[in-house]
Amino acid sequence: MPSATVWEFRAITATDRSTAQNAPWSRMAMTDVSTQAWRGGVDVDAWQAIGPGGPAEVGELVADLILAPEDDPMADEPEVAAWIGLHRHDASRAAEPGGGAPTDMPLDAPSHAFCKIEEAIAWAQLPMEAGQCAVELGAAPGGAVLALARRGLDVVAVDLGDLAAQVLASPGVTHLAKKVGSLGRADLPARVDWLLVDMNLAPQVVLHEIAHLLPGLVPTLRGAVFTLKLPDWAVVDELPRLVAQIAAFGLPDVRLRHLPSNRREVCCVARPAR
């Protein structure tokens, strides 16, 4: 079978259910999948028949489910309530249910960026270790900075905005209140192992803003984690070009994933050639 197969569910009624049962997309779960049905719960027997839950092993069959937001004004087909599909698990996919990693955001984390970086590390199996140096561009209020500091990394947080007090007080954290466009290589540590970029700008603008820094950073970089914002859906069509631009910085191993804690954005992990 192909690496991923997707069936589209549309709202159906009891009167046309017998006809709908013969459609390919109805074979996985014989149930009404209208918005009202989702609110009341869905019969999961067909899903459970696929196999046990828990982290997926390579080669196992995994069910995929995407629920359409009820209030999405940009939805082309608002009558679609959900999409259901299957894929064979491989090493390029997240093994945990939901496509992420079991991550609990601590009460003192100032933003959900804490979970975003933890999910990125787990998904891409990034070897971030104590004693390494990370730089985050667009760091305030410091969710990701706190996560890395608690892993024992030294973190330089670049942002004109303030870091939360508990982040700034964490060992190994340095706040550099400076615009990225005016940031020079000499402002940063001589060796930078990891670069995080989470700026609230269109990704085309972000890559333009950081282009002057990459030649001086890439020689020591183990990898970079970009959060690419999607201010409108047209940016999705631009992703292949953005990936090529990131690869041209000297980070040719580029992977994209929408992680559970991502909102209208995607995670991009880029690493040097292996």
pLDDT beyond 80 at 110: yes
Q: Report pLDDT digits (tens) over 18-73.
A: 443 333 333 333 233 344 444 445 555 666 665 666 778 888 877 777 666 655 55
Query: Contact at 8 Å (CB) between 237 and 204?
Result: no
| 116 in catalytic set | no
Domain ranges in the chain with CATH number 3.40.50.150:
98-271
Q: Report pLDDT digits (tens) over 127-147.
A: 999 999 999 999 999 999 999
pTM of the model: 0.74
Query: Contact at 8 Å (CB) between 101 and 119?
Result: yes
- Which residue among 116, 178, 179, 229 is the active-site one? 229
Which CATH code of 2.102.10.10, 2.60.130.10, 3.40.50.150, 3.30.70.260 fits the domain covering 98-271?
Answer: 3.40.50.150
What six digits make up the tokens of 70?
């009820």
**Strands 223-229 and 265-271, sheet pairing:** antiparallel
